[in-house]
Structure 1
Amino acid sequence: MKKKILVTGADGFIGSHLTETLVRQGYDVRAFVYYNSFNSWGWLDQSSAEIKSSLDVFSGDIRDPYGVKEAMKGCTHVLNLAALIAIPYSYHSPATYVDTNVTGTLNVVQAAKELCVEKVVHTSTSEVYGTALYVPIDEEHPLQGQSPYSASKIGADQMALSFYRSFDTPVSIIRPFNTYGPRQSARAVIPTIISQLASGKTNIKLGAVSPTRDFNYVKDTVNGFISVMNATSSIGEVINIGSNYEVSIGETAQMIADIMGVDLTIETDEQRLRPEKSEVERLWAENKKAKELLGWEPQYGGKEGFRRGLEETIEWFTNPKNLSQYKADVYNI
């Protein structure tokens, strides 16, 4: 039987790229987008007419169990990307993260159990590891909730895995490290840097620049989702998707400035700093399990691959039509 794929969070950054790629690869895709009175499909509004005409769009709210189950009817596979992900906003409104991330995940796996869905791929995050206790970080690394966001994702991951262990619900956990690329929110550091520089600023505002990250280009993340979905060996497993390349925020800013041909000065903006014990100081992915179980490898790995990914991201953001959708002079939490 042909796969019918439900993508929750299809209107978001990674979700829209994933949805488009699935359609191009010939899958039958239902896109779950967040209901709003503008009938906006988020980033899918900017997809080609060919993509949009191929989509089965369902508007709803991941927090609504009835709507989630309705959206999942007739689907063989569910890729669950619907989540609140901004760390600063989780300090402001933590209860919304529990409702969306934990309860939303419960709604997905409960419906999957009742509908006998073939596979649920649930989206985790490298933030669940907190500051690395050892590197590179493998899937056995302890989980540390250093923000309400990361705590909610730990809860969501465990909820999903509990259904695998309790009811044999076929759940896989994909754990992407810091994904970047076209369409990403300016609350994330790479779009923050690019959008400020592209707007003519050379003295840009950032938070801490010493923490390191393992940045994963969105095309690699999308390929990771599809690989997890198609691999029977991924059921019941947690799998890192990361480049296995560590770089600091400061070095990243300098690389972006070099590509854009500008001289850069960084000003520390106090409101962009995380509380001291909440800052994740170091992330560096071990991706051996993904290679062994899925045959997945990053195409944008290492310093050279990171630079290529940044070049593609900068090309998109510096298009005036795309840049006009960002408020480079406003801090976006």
Structure 2
Amino acid sequence: MSSKKRILVTGSDGFIGSHLTEHLVRAGHDVRAFVLYNSFNSWGWLDHAARDVQSSLDIFAGDIRDPNGVRKAVADRDVVLHLAALIAIPYSYHSPDTYVDTNIKGTLNVVQAARDSGARVVHTSTSEVYGTALTVPISETHPLQGQSPYSASKIGADQIALSFHLSFGTPVSVLRPFNTYGPRQSARAVIPSIVTQIANGRRAIKLGSLHPTRDFNYVTDTVRAFEAVMESDAAVGQVLNAGSGFEISIADTVKVIAETMGIDVRVETDEQRLRPEKSEVERLLADAGRLRALTGWAPEYGGPDGFRRGIAKTVQWFTEPANLARYKADLYNV
């Protein structure tokens, strides 16, 4: 095991953040979990973490948009793994101001606090910043294309983070995961949407566009990428793609899920799920060579076989009645 670190995970109440937080606790680190303050005292997915994980956590309820709370949360940490963000693309069409406030200003608050405290930052980007692939596989030098307010806000956040490294020497790395999937993901994402619709008895499932391709990353591979970047001095100042290197269309993803669940389905196009034509990202396929070279990371769920194994684990989790009951599969989740 690496040396014990004092780590702050922002967005630890979310899908990837909760998996990452649990992993770091079990690896023996001192973990502070930054969760979004709410009157229910909910810790998001960490409410469902094992008792030994919960009892080991330092929970910090706050808002990434508030510089004072962020500064306090960062103050005594060695590392900040910054995942807190608004990520739903359709909601960014509806409420773009909130994406600027949360994603750009929130990231500014994190790197400003890290500059003051000396903490190292691993900032979370997204493959959406590349837009539709102009060349494949997509390396970190691919042009950035803000095809939605969400992706534009993440481009801005990435550049703010990198600017603090270049301007002030703040030790920042930018990790750019391609589409992560797995247990706990929001049903606004395509894989949980497919699985929960089928699990709730639908045989005609509603989806948006079927022809775009994605490079899907199983969540434990994404978690391992964060850990690898955090541990690598060579990753400081770098932008690093994390992807499986396997490309599959949404239509073929439906087939894999249906086969895994042993169900025949048909797809109906739901107009409200379609992105505006010029906003749809048609193709994503990662070149993760830089991450592999600098950290030794490699996906454990790569290729078609790895994708099927990841889908099987995802289906198993979502089809457990207690888990399925948490999702409103009859509604379109923006």
Give me the TM-score of the superposition, normalised by structure 1: 0.99
3-state SS of 1:59 partner: strand
3-state SS of 1:30 partner: strand
Percent identity, please. 68
Contact 2:16 2:219 in 1 (8 A): yes
Gaps (5+ residues) in structure 2?
A: none
Of the candidates 20, 23, 28, which is equivalent to residue 21 of structure 1? Answer: 23
Q: Within 5 Å, which residues of 2 pair with 1:1-333?
A: 2-117=4-119, 119-333=120-334
Displacement of 1:3 after TM fit?
1.2
- Paired letter, 1:194: V
Moved more, 127-136 or 1-10: 1-10
How many residues in Structure 1 have an aligned counterpart in Structure 2? Answer: 332
- Work out the CA distance in 2 between the residues paired with 1:247 and 1:3: 37
- Work out the CA distance in 2 between the residues paired with 1:61 and 1:271: 30
> Over residues 98-151 of structure 1, what are the superposed CA-to-partner deviations in whole Å (9 max), with x where a residue is unaligned?
00000000000000001111x100000000000000000000000000000000
- Work out the CA distance in 1 between the residues paired with 2:106 and 2:260: 40
3-state SS of 1:196 partner: helix
Q: CA-atom RMSD, angstroms?
A: 0.6
- Work out the CA distance in 2 between the residues paired with 1:79 and 1:259: 34
Displacement of 1:244 after TM fit?
0.3
- Paired letter, 2:215: D
- Work out the CA distance in 2 between the residues paired with 1:182 and 1:197: 16
Displacement of 1:2 after TM fit?
3.9
- Work out the CA distance in 2 between the residues paired with 1:94 and 1:270: 21
- Paired letter, 2:259: D
- Paired letter, 1:147: S
- Work out the CA distance in 2 between the residues paired with 1:263 and 1:239: 39
Contact 2:4 2:28 in 1 (8 A): no
Gaps (5+ residues) in structure 1?
A: none
- Paired letter, 1:233: A
- Paired letter, 2:47: D
- Paired letter, 1:25: A
- Paired letter, 2:107: T
- Work out the CA distance in 2 between the residues paired with 1:283 and 1:253: 17
> Over residues 259-312 of structure 1, what are the superposed CA-to-partner deviations in whole Å (9 max), with x where a residue is unaligned?
000001000000000000000000000011111001000000000000000000
Give me the TM-score of the superposition, normalised by structure 2: 0.99
- Work out the CA distance in 1 between the residues paired with 2:138 and 2:75: 37
- Work out the CA distance in 2 between the residues paired with 1:101 and 1:230: 25
- Work out the CA distance in 2 between the residues paired with 1:168 and 1:202: 55
Contact 2:234 2:294 in 1 (8 A): yes
> Over residues 34-72 of structure 1, what are the superposed CA-to-partner deviations in whole Å (9 max), with x where a residue is unaligned?
000000000000000000000000000000000000011
